[in-house]
Structure 1
Amino acid sequence: MGYVEAYVFMFFIATLSSFTIGDPQVPCYFIFGDSLYDNGNNNDLVTEAKVNFPPYGVDFPDGPTGRFSNGRNIADVIAELLGFENSIPPYATVSRKDIVRGVNYASGAAGIRDESGQHMGGRISLNQQIARHAIIILQLIDLIGKGSVAPVQEHLNKCIYTVAMGNNDFINNYFFPQYYNTSSLYTPEEYAEILVQQYSEQLSKLYEFGARKFAVSGAGYAGCAPAMMARYETNVCVDAVNYAVVQFNARLTAALVDLESKLPGAKFIYMEPPLGYSNDFNVTDQPCCKVSTTIGEGQCVPSQVPCNERQNYVFWDAFHPTESISLVDGAAVYAAMSPFYASSTKLSLPSEELLISDA
C-alpha cells in the first residue's frame, strides 16, 4: 500500500470517531508528553513554548487552545477513537469529576531530562508530569476510593497510558550547544544510553502508581523538521540529528522489552515515531504558517494568515504536524494499542450525580 492509499485508509479510520456511540473502550486515558500532545498545559506558564494565539487552532472548534496545531493533535485523535466524547482535559484546567476518565499532562518543550527546553522558559518535564499524576491519584483515592487505595489501583490498571518523550532532549538540549553542554559530554550513543536509563526509571515509577498499559512513542526524526534544517542552514535532513535519534529509539525498544519482563502485569507497546517528522512523502513538507526565527523558534508568527490547503502539508509550523498528519499518527497509535482495549473490562464509574455532589 502506497503512502497516499495508506493516508486515505487511516484518515477514514480516524473519521469514524465522529460516529462513536456508547461508552469508551477503556475507562480512562492518561497522556504524558511534549508539544505533540500538549492541549493547554503551557498556556499560563512564562514560556516561549505556548501557542494560545492564532493562527493556531484555525481548524479547531474552540480556536487557539494551546495545541501546537491548526486543529486536533495526536492525543485528541486517540481519545476520539477510544470512544471518549471529549478530548482528555489538560491538567491545568481539569475538573474534579473529569479526572476519573483521564488527564493530559503533556507540555511543550518538556523532556526526559529536567533541563531540556529550559532556555524557552517554563515547561513541565516528565518528572514533573509524573509528580502531577501522583496528585491526581490522591484525588482519585478521595473521589472513587473513599479513602481506599484498592479501587483506584484497580481502576488505573485498566487505563491506557501514552508516553511520548525524548524529542526535546535532542532538539532543545543535545543539538543546541549554545545552551547545553550534553553534546560535549557524551557521544550520541552514550547520551542515548543515559536518556533511556532515566526514561526506564520514570516509566517504572508510573508502574508503581498503578499503570499497566503503556504505549510509548519513539522520538521523532527531527533532523527532517524544517526548523532543524534551518538551524543547520541546509535544505536536506540533518543526518547527525537523525542518527542520534536512531540510537535512542533502538535502546528504548530493547528497554521496553526488559521492563515488561521485570514488571508483573505490565504491557509495553513501542510506537514508531510520528510520520510528521519524515519528508519522504508526496506532500508539502514546508511549514503551513509563517514561522518565527527568534522568539519561539519554529512556531507560527502570531495572527498571520496560514496556507489554504492545509490537508496537503506535513508541517503546520516548523516543528509540528498539521491536523491531517495527526489523524494518520493518532490512528496508527490507536490500531497498535488494540491489545489494550479489545479485551478490556471496564470498571463501573461513579455516577455523574455522585461526582458532582462530591466536587
Structure 2
Amino acid sequence: MGKSWWWVIAALFMVALQQIAEGYQQLPCYFIFGDSLADNGNNNFLDTLAKVNYAPYGIDFPFGPTGRFTNGRTTVDVIAELLGFQNFIPPFATASGTDILFGVNYASGSAGIRNETGQQLGERVPLDMQLEHHQTTILDLVDILGTTWATEWYLSRCLYSVGMGNNDYLNNYFLPEYYNTSKEYTLQQFTQLLIQQYTQQLKTLYDYGARKIALFGVGQIGCTPGSIEKYGTNGSTCVEIMEEASQLFNKKLKSVVEELNANLTDAKFIYINYYAIGADSSVLNFKDSSSGCCPVAIDGECIANQIPCKNRTEFAFWDSYHPTEAVNKFIGERSYSALEPSDAYPFDISHLVLLNLQDAAYK
C-alpha cells in the first residue's frame, strides 16, 4: 500500500469525524436500488411512459419536477436526510465526479426483479442492470480512491437500500394482456421464482462490497386507487389477490434476510416492513385515500400541467399508484427509527448504520 493511500484514509477519517461531531452524515455513502418509489430522475432520459419530469410532479420539492413520482420527497430522500446527508443522493443518470463518494441512486420507474417486468411501458432499468450500473460506479470509485482495497473498505461502511417486487406483480403477473406469467405459474410458484432470483441478485450486491443492506418489502399494491379501479374489490377494501401477493412475497423476503444473515456473517441485512408501515399511515387521518391528488391519465400518472389538490397533506396518494410526500415522510421516519417491533427486522436503519461489523457479537 502506497503512502498516498494513507493520506486518503486519514483525510476520510478526518472528514467523517468532523461530520459526526457537527451532526452531519452518519456514514460515508448511501446506494439506492429500486423502482418508481425511489426513482429520482433515472427514467428521464429513457424512451418510456414511466417518467414524470413535468409539473405537477415535484410541486412541493425544492427543485420542482425532477423525475420523482410524487409531489415532494421520496422515502429514500427522507432517509438520506435522517442520515445527515446535506444533499439528495444523485441519480446514476447524472451522477459524476466526486459526487459518487456520497452514493448513487439507481432506481427506475416500472423496473422489477425480472428483466421483462414493465416492458409494456418502454425502457426501464431492471435490477440486473442496476447492479451493472453499480459496477460502473465501483470502477469510478477505484479511480478516485486509488486502490481496490481502499474502495472495498469504503463501500463496506456505506448503507445500501433495495426495494423491488412491486412491479413484478403490478406490471407483470397481474397484467395477463401483456405477460404469460399468471398462465404459466400459480401465485405461489411465481413468488418463489421472484424470491430465488432476488436472493441471487442480493448475493451479487454482497459480492460487489455491500455489507449494510436494508430491504424494503412490497407495499399494499392492492389498495392503490389504480388497482382498485382496474380490478375492483368485490366488496372488499382492497384487491384481495394482490394483497395476498404482497404478504406472500414479504413473508418469504423476511426469511431471505434470516438466510443471508446466517450465511454471510460479515454483512447485515434488515427487512423494512413497508406494507405494515404504509398501512399505519392511516393514523395521519387522511381525508382521501381512495383517489390521487392530481388529475390522472389512463396510465394512472398525473396529466401534465394540470392543477392538483391544494390540501396535499390530506391525501395518501399523489397519483393512482404513488404515495404523497406525507406518506413517504411517515414511512421514511419509521424505517429509520422503528416505532413498532414489526416495523423492521431484526432492527431498523438507525441501528444498522451504527453497526460495527468487525464486532464478533454480530457475526
Q: What TM bracket, shorter-length normalisation?
A: 0.7 to 0.9
Q: Is the 8 A contact 2:281 2:327 kept in 1?
A: no
Following superposition, the deviation at residue 340 of structure 1 comes to 2.1
Task: Give the aligned partner of residue 74 of structure 1.
Answer: 75
Q: Which residue of 299, 302, 305 corresponds with 1:300?
A: 302
Task: Give the aligned partner of residue 257 of structure 2.
Answer: 256
- How many residues were matched structurally? 321
- For 1:162, the aligned partner's letter is S
Paired residue secondary structure (1:42): helix
1:311 is aligned to 2:313? yes
- For 2:177, the aligned partner's letter is Q
Alignment deviations for residues 91-126 of structure 1 (CA, whole Å, 9 cap, x no partner): 000121111110000000000000000000011000
Alignment of 1:60-209 (within 5 A): 60-144=61-145, 146=146, 148-209=147-208
Task: Give the aligned partner of residue 246 of structure 2.
Answer: 245
Following superposition, the deviation at residue 334 of structure 1 comes to 1.3
Task: Give the aligned partner of residue 58 of structure 1.
Answer: 59
Alignment deviations for residues 316-339 of structure 1 (CA, whole Å, 9 cap, x no partner): 001001011111111111112122
- For 2:328, the aligned partner's letter is S
Please give the alpha-carbon distance, in whole angstroms, between the structure 1 residues aligned to 2:176 and 2:190.
Answer: 14
What 5-or-longer segments of structure 1 have no aligned partner? 1-19, 346-359
Structure-1-length-normalised TM-score: 0.86
Please give the alpha-carbon distance, in whole angstroms, between the structure 2 residues aligned to 1:240 and 1:125.
Answer: 24
Task: Give the aligned partner of residue 5 of structure 2.
Answer: none
Following superposition, the deviation at residue 264 of structure 1 comes to 2.6
Paired residue secondary structure (1:43): helix
Alignment deviations for residues 288-326 of structure 1 (CA, whole Å, 9 cap, x no partner): 001111xxx111111110001100111000100101111
Alignment of 1:203-242 (within 5 A): 203-234=202-233, 236-242=237-243
Task: Give the aligned partner of residue 330 of structure 2.
Answer: 328
Please give the alpha-carbon distance, in whole angstroms, between the structure 2 residues aligned to 1:332 and 1:224.
Answer: 20
Q: Which residue of 290, 308, 321 corresponds with 2:295?
A: 290
Following superposition, the deviation at residue 344 of structure 1 comes to 5.9
Please give the alpha-carbon distance, in whole angstroms, between the structure 1 residues aligned to 2:42 and 2:246.
Answer: 26
- For 1:341, the aligned partner's letter is V
Alignment deviations for residues 223-262 of structure 1 (CA, whole Å, 9 cap, x no partner): 0000001111447310011111111111111011101111
1:337 is aligned to 2:349? yes
Following superposition, the deviation at residue 276 of structure 1 comes to 4.4
Paired residue secondary structure (1:216): strand
- For 1:337, the aligned partner's letter is I
Alignment deviations for residues 113-145 of structure 1 (CA, whole Å, 9 cap, x no partner): 00000000011000000000000001111111x
In structure 2, relative to structure 1, the CA distance for the partners of 1:121 and 1:175 (3 Å cut) is same
Please give the alpha-carbon distance, in whole angstroms, between the structure 1 residues aligned to 2:356 and 2:27.
Answer: 6
Please give the alpha-carbon distance, in whole angstroms, between the structure 1 residues aligned to 2:92 and 2:324.
Answer: 24
Please give the alpha-carbon distance, in whole angstroms, between the structure 1 residues aligned to 2:27 and 2:301.
Answer: 34
- For 2:169, the aligned partner's letter is F
Please give the alpha-carbon distance, in whole angstroms, between the structure 2 residues aligned to 1:306 and 1:277.
Answer: 24
Please give the alpha-carbon distance, in whole angstroms, between the structure 1 residues aligned to 2:326 and 2:55.
Answer: 18
Q: Is the 8 A contact 1:216 1:271 kept in 2?
A: yes
Structure-2-length-normalised TM-score: 0.85
- For 1:331, the aligned partner's letter is E
Q: Is the 8 A contact 1:276 1:314 kept in 2?
A: no
Q: Is the 8 A contact 1:224 1:279 kept in 2?
A: no
Please give the alpha-carbon distance, in whole angstroms, between the structure 2 residues aligned to 1:92 and 1:22.
Answer: 30
Please give the alpha-carbon distance, in whole angstroms, between the structure 2 residues aligned to 1:252 and 1:186.
Answer: 19
Paired residue secondary structure (2:77): helix
Please give the alpha-carbon distance, in whole angstroms, between the structure 1 residues aligned to 2:268 and 2:307.
Answer: 44
Please give the alpha-carbon distance, in whole angstroms, between the structure 1 residues aligned to 2:314 and 2:252.
Answer: 34
Following superposition, the deviation at residue 273 of structure 1 comes to 1.8
Paired residue secondary structure (2:44): coil
Following superposition, the deviation at residue 277 of structure 1 comes to 6.5
Higher relative contact order (CA 8 A, sep 6+): 1
Paired residue secondary structure (1:161): strand
Task: Give the aligned partner of residue 46 of structure 2.
Answer: 45
Q: Is the 8 A contact 2:232 2:239 kept in 1?
A: no
Alignment deviations for residues 30-54 of structure 1 (CA, whole Å, 9 cap, x no partner): 0000000000000010000000000
- State which drifts further: 148-157 or 275-284: 275-284
Please give the alpha-carbon distance, in whole angstroms, between the structure 1 residues aligned to 2:278 and 2:294.
Answer: 15
Following superposition, the deviation at residue 214 of structure 1 comes to 0.7
What 5-or-longer segments of structure 2 have no aligned partner? 1-20, 338-347, 358-363
Q: Is the 8 A contact 1:55 1:70 kept in 2?
A: yes
